[in-house]
A and B are shown apart, each in its own frame.
Chain A
Amino acid sequence: MPPTTRIRRGALLAAAAAASVLLTSACSGAAAPSGGDAAAAPGKDDKLTITVYSKFTDREYGVVTAGLNKLKAKFPNIEIKHEGNQDDDKLTQSIRGGNPPDVAISFYTDNLGAWCSTGSFQDLKPYIERDKIDLNQIPEAVRNYTEYQGKRCAMPMLADVYGFYYNKDMFAAKGVTSPPKTTDELLEDAKKLTEYNADGSIKVAGFVPSMPFYANQAQYWAPNFGAPFIGPDGKSDLATNPGWKAMFEFQQKLIDALGGHDKVEKFKAGLGDEYSADNGFQKGKLAMIYDGEFRTAFIKDQAPTLNYATAPAPVLTTMADKYGSAFTTGTIIAIPKGAKNPGAAWELIKQVSLDTDTLVDMANGLKNVPSTKASLTSPRLDLQPQFKTFLDMYDSGKLVSNQTTPIGDAHLKAVNDFAEKWQAGSIPDLTEGLKKVDAQINDELKQKGAGG
């Protein structure tokens, strides 16, 4: 066979090999931009169907569907088609494909900046102005995580507040009388509460500080150490912030105290999935955990006999006066670009983000914090003592919200990646390591024309 033919065949084979990779990156189908004015509300007797995407499943899906259907009291002919188990990827892809739902619900606020800055979610300002909505009925921190650079493209639909859970029986058995308020107390209590097997492996851990693991995510911990991701200049500056260094040094100290990275990793790997009945705290394998208020519902459902209590999360010992502050994020609800029924979508959003009864019903069902001040004081709110801790933190005025950026969760991944390497002892110099994380985050920000 002549050499040219051989080369041509080889090239063709190679071309076929990479075709599928190229296909994944070349598909697109953006919808036409939506208008900037508020769409008219539907008539009382209009017949139409509103499609809603959310990631809720199982028990939670039923609670949210019931909340959404409360719109029928005002618009009896509107049908709500609630499609659960739709994650952020599917939602984004539906917007890009020009076939989005009328209403988008996301568990996370991590992607809000990206959705807002790209116009994936419609600006709600015209609707808010038209209907004279008073946004002051929502706490400031919650307002912050539902807007990006002043552009309100989502509303809060219940909030999540992160605090501390502890096993009262395990505390009593080891003579620990109260939950830790500072990181020094947490370190001491964790050591006291940890038990080992005969072979030296961990049997029960007082507290596992590995990151990422369950709710041990840098963004949830950071407020308790006074460590922001993005500085006032819009850039990442972790390396010069003492809070970040204190957080990682504390984490390393605790891992060493429990017996080192490998021992902790092995124990951690034996714990069940975060949202299953085998969750380590629910199974009595962990004495203390960070988690959101929604864990109270999981415990009620999956481990009803667990004797536990909740408290604000411990803060860095040098900032003890900040005890009681909490990280907040939550479920957001928005109208995607290209939605077919934006006027009706807005009516649904108002119903589930501002109506007190709807919020209280969903809060009681999901054990989430209702996001308006009126719903927070509703007598109908189920005030189980473990849950009330989170309501108090929400109302404390010390809430710290998730910082919205145009880079989605790229900065969160960068810090989590660093944490993994740090706790494994692969980072010899903390400051130099954090400088590299800064460079990585700032590179992503520069891609979006921000911070760089």
Chain B
Amino acid sequence: MTSTLAEKVSPSAPEKARAGARRAKRRRTVFLFMAPAFLGFLIFFGYPLIATVYYSFTRYDLINPPVFVGFDNYVRMFTTEPLVGTAAYNTLWLVVILTTCRVLFSLGIASVISRLKSGVGLVRTLCYLPTLAPPAAATLAFVFVFNPEFGPVNRFLRLIGIDGGLWFNSPAMSKPALTLLALWGSGELMIIILAALLDVPTEQYEAAELDGAGPVRRFWHVTLPSISPVLLFGVVNSIIYALQFFTQAIVASSASAGTADVAGNSKLIGAPQNSTLTYPIWLYVQGFRYFNMGYAAAMAVLLFIVSAGFTWILVRQLRKSQHQEEGA
């Protein structure tokens, strides 16, 4: 009986061939539709990636042909060149502190807005508006607002008896000041998190409330698991933002040193005391100003490896926690 049924359901050879042809046709169609994206990926990602890895083993000034130097650029990076370490530290500082603050700040503001009964549209717009300000203009405004001598922040702090400090003119406070600037402009992430918060089914909150869960437990066991994919996006997005932190740091260093040369005078870049010298800035200066494109390429390769590592760890952690949630 079993064998008879098996014979009945098993497709004949012509049917198999037809199914195979259908699959191949579908594959061709899918490939055809994907071809433009695939081509773009090859041109704008594949080629630069391979070229960067190649140039990292050369001495190259972008004017004359590259000269192969083996691992010299990597050896220099880890041994004799002192500012790459400073730049890496500054960027790592931003990755850790700025990412944490940006996600928590956006989550906090989004949570408040999601609970508002009226004026939601206005508050949402006001919180989003700073995102639209051009980074250079926003930074100049922040340097003015945090000016140690006449800036409104320090004036206010003086009124209540606090010495506000040097902000962008102090190596200890320049990165926190840049973090505040980044938080002020994090409306985009706030809007994304707000959308995720509003998407959490209210039935789940009602059920948790009936089970006696307070606001903290409701947030921990209902809100957080529901919005965790969006939070992961926020974390990855903020890490990328911190790894690429460039314009604001360059403008702040020039403006705080007394010049409006927003293009960045390379003698002032990183001021004060290289506390605002980020990894991408140093990569740019080495490659485009000092004509050391081979060395800059080696820096870019290292940055790529670190970025890939960060993202891989985060994605793996999220998947693990999702599996645990589903299993619980």
CB within 8 Å of B: which residues of A?
Answer: 1, 6-7, 9-11, 13-28, 30, 87-89, 92-93, 95-96, 110-111, 114, 118-120, 212-214, 217, 262, 265-271, 273-276, 337, 407-410, 412-413, 416-417, 420-421, 424, 426, 436, 439-440, 443-444, 447-448
Contacts and interface: CB of A to CB of B under 8 A. Distances in A.
Interface string B251-269: 0000011111001001111
Given A7-B312, A262-B166, A119 B44 contact: no
Contacts of A416: 267-268
Contact of B62 (A30, A265, A276): A30
Interface residues of B, number: 73
Given A114-B290, A213-B258, A269-B148, A17 B166 contact: no
A268 B311 contact: no
A236 to B, nearest CB: 13
Interface stretch (B96-104, B200-208, B217-225, B293-301): B293-301
B271 A212 contact: yes
B55 A19 contact: no
Given A17-B240, A269-B147, A89 B272 contact: no
Contacts of B82: 436, 439-440, 443
A64 B28 CA distance: 62
Interface in B269-299: 269-274, 280, 283-284, 287-293, 295-297, 299
Most central of A24, A273, A444 by chain B CB within 10 Å:
A24
Contact of A14 (B272, B287, B311): B311
Given A24-B300, A25-B55, A440-B82, A212 B267 contact: yes
Interface stretch (B5-13, B191-199, B302-310): B302-310
A407 B296 contact: no
A443 B267 contact: no
A129 B133 CA distance: 54
A5 B269 CA distance: 43
Contacts of A275: 259-260
A196 B243 CA distance: 43
B175 interface: no
B130 to A, nearest CB: 23
A267 B274 CA distance: 21
A92 B292 CA distance: 13
A110 B291 CA distance: 13
Interface of B: 44-45, 47-49, 51-52, 55, 59, 61-64, 76, 80-83, 147-150, 166, 169-171, 236, 239-240, 243-244, 256-260, 263, 266-274, 280, 283-284, 287-293, 295-297, 299-300, 303-304, 307-312, 314-316, 319
A-B CB proximity, top 9 nearest: A270-B149, A14-B308, A14-B311, A26-B48, A10-B315, A18-B307, A10-B312, A18-B304, A25-B300
A19 B316 contact: no
Contacts of B314: 10
A202 B50 CA distance: 56
B266 A413 contact: yes
Contact of A30 (B49, B64, B274, B312): B64
Contacts of B295: 447
B267 A412 contact: yes
Given A217-B267, A273-B258, A17 B291 contact: no
Given A11-B308, A22-B304, A407-B290, 12 more contacts: A1-B319, A7-B312, A14-B310, A21-B283, A26-B51, A28-B293, A89-B289, A265-B170, A409-B289, A412-B267, A440-B82, A447-B59
B147 A119 contact: no
Given A22-B300, A417-B270, A408 B290 contact: yes
Contact of A17 (B63, B269, B307): B307
A6 B317 CA distance: 11
Nearest to B48: A26
A118 B288 CA distance: 13
Contacts of A276: 260
A289 B290 CA distance: 30
Nearest to A219: B267
Contacts of A22: 45, 48-49, 52, 300, 304
B157 to A, nearest CB: 13
B315 A13 contact: yes
Contacts of A28: 62, 293
